């Protein structure tokens, strides 16, 4: 323990020097000097194979858990030999080989990932526990409370370790809570909470060990508040004057390293000379690591591409030479059910999680699955979108393949951090250490009188986030085949279903098949105009093509199916043939998929076009409740036909 504490102290002090010298490509550096007992005591209490999540102030946790010092130092210097190959840096440094699930720059986010890892351990019937490090400021975050509630409801083996260093950035404890003990946060969630001396490494070790064993026995989570203090500022070089020199000096007298050395000497386990030798060796080790880092190469740009998405089975992206033909008529809803049932039967790592999914969810897509697979694989949750998606991230990182259901796509706004900052970025920030095989299913679109907060089409919004796969089927055939492919993917997939399509029926094959990701489908061949359609607009485009045929206009219909990655080649080939383009989508016009499509086509083949491309989309207003107004907002047949006629004649 003493060796590890000295190593952390020496490392942090050397990084402070490197930061001041401009050797770190960072604007901010968050050091944990003074908090070494928390990191070492807690990590030493874990077993090999246990999980850990940490924060922007996570260097000490990583070293305490056993991260390689050379690679750790190189990472902070942004080098190719770093733990994350220079892609994560000081706030996101991590090492999957020691059970670390990311250092997180989002305050409170680590708690949800740890909950997911704990859920994964339970699903896999292991004795692993997950420990989430966080600061006192995280206890004011909604994510933290959703994590505690999830952990309590499901009796998960997770420890929430709050390093109460007296300040949330510059704000003192009394400025962000009325509680005297942050451990009391646990009471509101029906969990035990304890307050310990975070500067006593032995007490930390004992209490975390006790809580971990309690969790392994199936007795659930514990909130541990460790009272400690950070000697340095929130970040290096800060100029805010919010602490007195007297306060800092008083806490330095409680130095956790000096305190542990005194105890070891009093008990005759080490001499003062031996303690000094340990400190000296730590400093030498850090200097050697610094030399290694300074001599290491810079990362190459192509690393960024290879680290974004995990490798996939080739079949998921390659269209079959002879796609199986439809043989029986089923609804889109039934096709989705079949996809879920078949993939759950095929792979025991797959489970469904969300609100009311045992009863079928709002649109009854999952009805009957609980009878088939049991409540441990069809998991009802609190109304808690952050936790549904956040826990799925942690579970995916630790070997499971969750299929999370968000009841309406509008509610994705309540899970933006786990989607945008976690699922989409954790593989990249880690330099490709993790895979995140998770699917988020969600119904979107207007047309059923649910008004502004239950009717949005948000696909284009999330196209802007690198690291996500975004699918939007428009037929029963594609709904089943694409969902099966999504579940088999090693990457996070947003699977947008449209409410208007659930009852639509179509032909699907009798046997096994998947629809490849990233491959558009020409649903109808034509010569005069290309109609590129997304999701529920596919049936509309096919209907429009029939009407246009009666007018002597031959329309080709391209079903995008996969927005990210998008099959631009198929779209371009079609437009080169017809020389006219109309894009139809259910989302708002501004910033939609249509805008991206027109920009891509225009940039590539504008000189071949006979007319300006057209976009048909929803008005740039929220979806109204009144039926006639809603019908006016959502694209319909007449608007699509008008757009085509404008450029064909």
Interhelix angle for 2-20 vs 256-266, to 10°? 150
The burial of 21, by beta-carbon neighbours within 10 Å (0-12 exposed, 13-18 middle, 19 or more buried), is given as exposed
Contact call for residues 145 and 189 (beta carbons, < 8 A): yes
In order of 63, 140, 238, the CA distances from 275 in angstroms are 19, 39, 32
Tokens at 134, concatenated: 């966080």
Q: CB neighbours (10 Å) of residue 326?
A: 16
Handedness of CA 153, 159, 165, 169 (dihedral sign): negative
The burial of 298, by beta-carbon neighbours within 10 Å (0-12 exposed, 13-18 middle, 19 or more buried), is given as exposed
Q: In whole angstroms, give the CA distance from residue 366 to residue 386.
A: 21
Token match 């219909």: residue?
557
Give the three-state DSSP class for 526: coil
DSSP string, 344-400: HHH-TTEEEEETTTTTTTTTTTTTTHHHHH-TTTEEE--S-HHHHHHHHHHHHHTT-
What DSSP state is assigned to residue 447?
Answer: S
Contact call for residues 633 and 447 (beta carbons, < 8 A): no
Handedness of CA 486, 103, 463, 625 (dihedral sign): positive
Phi, psi at 469, each rounded to 5°: -105, 135
Handedness of CA 285, 290, 295, 296 (dihedral sign): positive
Contact call for residues 607 and 554 (beta carbons, < 8 A): no
Q: Which helix (H) or strand (E) holds 164?
A: strand 158-164
Residues recognised as catalytic: 454
Contacts of 629 by beta carbon, 8 Å cutoff, 6+ apart: none
In order of 4, 544, 613, 628, 634, the CA distances from 640 in angstroms are 67, 7, 13, 18, 11
In order of 142, 370, 511, 512, the CA distances from 330 in angstroms are 41, 21, 13, 15
Give the three-state DSSP class for 438: coil
Contact call for residues 317 and 564 (beta carbons, < 8 A): no
Task: Indicate left, alpha or beta for 312 from its phi (over 0: left) and psi (-120 to 50: alpha).
Answer: beta
Q: For residue 108, which of 41, 176, 9, 46 has the smallest C-alpha distance?
A: 176
Q: In whole angstroms, give the CA distance from residue 432 to residue 430.
A: 5
């Amino acid at each position: 323990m003493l060796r590890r504490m000295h190593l952390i102290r020496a490392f942090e002090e050397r990084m402070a020097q490197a930061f001041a010298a401009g050797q770190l490509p960072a604007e901010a550096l968050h050091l944990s000097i003074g908090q070494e007992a928390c990191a070492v005591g807690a990590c030493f209490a874990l077993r090999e194979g246990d999980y850990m999540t940490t924060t922007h102030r996570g260097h000490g946790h990583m070293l305490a858990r056993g991260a390689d010092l050379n690679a750790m130092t190189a990472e902070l210097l942004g080098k190719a030999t770093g733990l994350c190959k220079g892609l994560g840096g000081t706030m996101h440094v991590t090492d999957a080989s020691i059970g670390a699930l990311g250092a997180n720059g989002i305050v409170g986010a680590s708690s949800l990932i740890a909950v997911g890892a704990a859920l994964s351990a339970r699903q896999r019937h292991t004795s692993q526990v997950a420990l989430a490090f966080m600061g006192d400021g995280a206890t004011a975050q909604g994510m933290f409370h959703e994590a505690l509630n999830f952990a309590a409801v499901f009796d998960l083996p997770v420890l929430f370790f709050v390093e109460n260093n007296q300040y949330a950035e510059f704000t003192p404890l009394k400025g962000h809570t009325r509680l005297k003990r942050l451990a009391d946060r646990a009471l509101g969630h029906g969990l035990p909470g304890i307050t310990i001396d975070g500067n006593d490494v032995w007490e930390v070790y004992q209490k975390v060990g006790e809580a971990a064993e309690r969790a392994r026995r199936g007795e659930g989570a514990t909130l541990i508040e460790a009272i400690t203090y950070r000697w340095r500022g929130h970040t290096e070089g800060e100029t805010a004057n919010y602490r007195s020199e007297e306060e800092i000096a008083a806490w330095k007298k409680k130095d956790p390293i000096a305190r542990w050395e005194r105890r070891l000497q009093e008990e005759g386990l080490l001499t003062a000379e031996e303690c000094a030798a340990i400190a000296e060796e730590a400093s030498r080790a850090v200097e050697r690591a610094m030399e290694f880092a300074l001599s290491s190469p810079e990362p190459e740009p192509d690393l960024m591409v290879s680290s974004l998405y995990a490798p996939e089975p080739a079949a998921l992206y390659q269209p079959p030479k002879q796609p199986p033909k439809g043989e029986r008529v089923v609804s889109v809803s039934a096709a989705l059910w079949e996809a879920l049932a078949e993939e759950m039967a095929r792979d025991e790592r797959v489970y469904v999680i969300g609100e009311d999914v045992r009863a079928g969810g709002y649109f009854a897509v999952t009805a009957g699955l609980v009878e088939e697979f049991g409540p441990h694989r069809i998991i009802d949750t609190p109304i808690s979108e952050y936790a549904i998606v956040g826990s799925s991230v942690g579970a995916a990182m630790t070997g499971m393949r969750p299929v999370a259901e968000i009841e309406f796509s509008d509610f994705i706004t309540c899970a933006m951090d786990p989607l945008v900052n976690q699922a989409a970025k954790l593989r990249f920030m880690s330099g490709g250490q993790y895979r995140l095989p998770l699917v988020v299913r969600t119904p979107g679109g207007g047309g059923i009188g649910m008004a502004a907060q239950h009717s949005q089409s948000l696909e284009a919004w999330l196209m802007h986030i690198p690291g996500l796969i975004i699918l939007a089927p428009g037929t029963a055939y594609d709904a089943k085949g694409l969902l099966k492919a999504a579940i088999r993917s090693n990457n996070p997939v947003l699977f947008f279903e449209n409410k208007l399509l659930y009852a639509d029926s179509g032909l699907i094959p009798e046997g096994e098949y998947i629809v490849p990701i990233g491959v558009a489908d020409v649903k109808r061949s034509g010569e005069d105009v290309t109609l590129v359609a997304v999701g529920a607009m596919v049936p509309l485009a096919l209907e429009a093509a029939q009407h246009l045929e009666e007018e002597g206009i031959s329309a080709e219909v391209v079903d995008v199916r996969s927005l990210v990655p998008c099959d631009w080649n198929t779209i371009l080939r079609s437009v080169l043939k017809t020389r006219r383009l109309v894009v139809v989508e259910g989302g708002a016009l501004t910033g939609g998929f249509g805008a991206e499509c027109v920009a891509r086509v225009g940039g590539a083949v504008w000189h071949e076009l006979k007319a300006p491309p057209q976009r048909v989309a929803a008005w740039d207003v929220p979806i109204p409740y009144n039926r006639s107004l809603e019908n006016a907002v959502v694209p319909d047949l007449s608007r699509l036909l008008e757009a085509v006629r404008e450029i064909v004649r």
